[in-house]
């Protein structure tokens, strides 16, 4: 992923259950009132994103989809994350929060995870 076209190609996504399990096994965590982010370093040269937006926390599909689109768009704009796998979980409070607040929260999480993963390994 050497090009800087800010796209979100399939190789930037976690797809298989085994990939998610690896992140859930021993993650570096970052959380606030809206999100919980789990991350580990990967062997690739680009970051990958996985979403676990639970129906238990976010009841309506419309709200889950808005949150997922917001997270994907924010991740897509981040080209400096390095080689980490990230899984994003949403909390109930994310439904009522304005989108700009969610974006700012995510940007803080990305920076925190990059520094923690760099010092962790």
Query: 23-70: per-residue pLDDT in tens?
Result: 999 899 988 999 999 999 988 888 899 999 999 999 999 999 999 999
Higher pLDDT residue, 22 or 8?
22
- pLDDT for res 92: 92
Q: Is the pLDDT of residue 5 over 70?
A: no
Q: Are 115 and 39 in contact (CB under 8 A)?
A: no
- pLDDT for res 1: 46
- pLDDT for res 120: 65
Is 105 part of a structural domain of the chain?
yes
Q: What is the pTM of this model?
A: 0.87
Is 95 part of a structural domain of the chain?
yes
Domain that holds residue 58: 10-120
Q: What is the pLDDT of residues 65-113, one digit of tens each?
A: 999 999 999 998 886 788 899 999 999 999 999 999 999 999 999 889 8
d(CA 48, CA 86): 6
d(CA 94, CA 119): 29
Is 14 part of a structural domain of the chain?
yes
Is 1 part of a structural domain of the chain?
no
Q: Is the pLDDT of residue 2 over 80?
A: no
CATH of the domain at 85: 3.30.230.10
Q: Are 73 and 105 in contact (CB under 8 A)?
A: no
- pLDDT for res 52: 92
Domain count, the chain: 1
Is 4 part of a structural domain of the chain?
no
Is 15 part of a structural domain of the chain?
yes
List all residues 6 or more positions away from 38 whose beta carbon is below 8 Å from its beta carbon. 23, 24, 27, 28, 29, 86, 87, 89
How far does the chain reach from its first CA to its final CA, in angstroms?
Answer: 22
Q: Are 40 and 26 in contact (CB under 8 A)?
A: yes
Q: Return left, alpha or beta for 6; rule: phi > 0 is left, psi -120 to 50 is alpha, else beta.
A: left
Q: Looking at residues 10-29, what average pLDDT do you find?
A: 90
Is 48 part of a structural domain of the chain?
yes
Burial level of 30, CB count in 10 A (0-12/13-18/19+)? buried
Is 3 part of a structural domain of the chain?
no
- pLDDT for res 121: 54
Hunting for tokens 């520094």 — which residue is that? 115
């Amino acid at each position: 992923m050497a090009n800087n076209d800010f796209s979100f190609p399939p190789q930037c996504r976690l797809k298989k259950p085994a990939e998610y399990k690896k992140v859930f096994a021993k993650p570096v965590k970052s959380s606030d009132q809206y999100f919980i982010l789990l991350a580990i370093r990967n062997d690739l040269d680009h970051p990958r994103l996985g979403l676990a937006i639970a129906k238990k926390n976010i009841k309506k599909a419309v709200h889950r989809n808005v949150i997922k689109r917001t997270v994907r768009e924010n991740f897509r704009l981040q080209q400096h994350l390095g080689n980490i796998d990230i899984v994003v979980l949403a909390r109930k409070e994310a439904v009522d929060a304005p989108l700009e607040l969610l974006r700012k929260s995510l940007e803080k999480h990305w920076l925190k995870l990059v520094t923690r993963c760099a010092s962790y390994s």
